[in-house]
Amino acid sequence: MIKKFCYKMDQINIDYFFPHNRIKTKRQLLKILLETTRIMLISTPIRLQDIGGKPHFKVIIDKMSRLFFFNNQKYYTIYFPFTYVVDNGEISISYKNIVSIDSKIISQLIEILNDSRFDSEHSLDFVEPISEIESEYDYKLWFLLKELLLIEDGYVRFDNDKESYLKAKKEKKEHTHPENHLDIFYTAGNTFKLGLNNLSKFDEFVDFLDLRTDCKYLKNYR
């Protein structure tokens, strides 16, 4: 059965989920995933009809399992790897029904990701902040962190970027930066754009990724 839950974003959420500089690392995405999950645990979902075009994020769990973030004319989506259960109005979230996700474990994981030892070239330095607290979680903390680091994050972003398009057009390179486009992946040597003829609406962006709807075609692909 399909699950769809929407949550509104305040300005703090917007600044965190839509940083001024584009997302460039998996660590950034993991922290966004974790903070989003925290919001789901402590906030009440809002009805779709109450969104009214305001900034929000949405979790959709069906054949696909994704988080969608919407802010004005910038949207993106990532894989949602957790199990989301609602029982008598109470929300519980877990990973593969092995590790229960709560606010405490989210804070611990973010603390590890922010720890300078995470960037160490030496494996023992990397292990230290994990081993310091792992016993509190029946030694499942490393299992969870490892799984999150290894999963395919499925990042796709829609952008309406008129300023960069006009700049490229002035240089007669408008097709290198379409005004409306999808960014696939996020690291500099890996990302690429797919140009769109029109501005994508919220529902259209979700439909691009929906495995139960008809596929889209690249018209000019040879």
**Domain ranges within the chain, ordered by starting residue:** 3-154, 156-209
Would you state the pLDDT for residue 50?
84
As a whole number of angstroms, the distance between CA 58 and CA 98 comes to 24
Assess contact for 94 and 137: CB atoms under 8 A. no
Would you state the pLDDT for residue 222?
52
Average pLDDT, the chain: 92
Would you state the pLDDT for residue 214?
95
Residues of the chain scoring pLDDT < 70: 221-222
Angle (CA) 200-71-171 rounded to 5° is 60
Would you state the pLDDT for residue 138?
80
- Nearest one of 63, 65, 67, 78 to 23, comparing CA atoms: 78
Side chain identity at residue 116, one-letter code? S
Would you state the pLDDT for residue 136?
82
Residue 6 bridge partners (DSSP):
46, 58
Block residue for tokens 């029982």: 87
Would you state the pLDDT for residue 221?
59
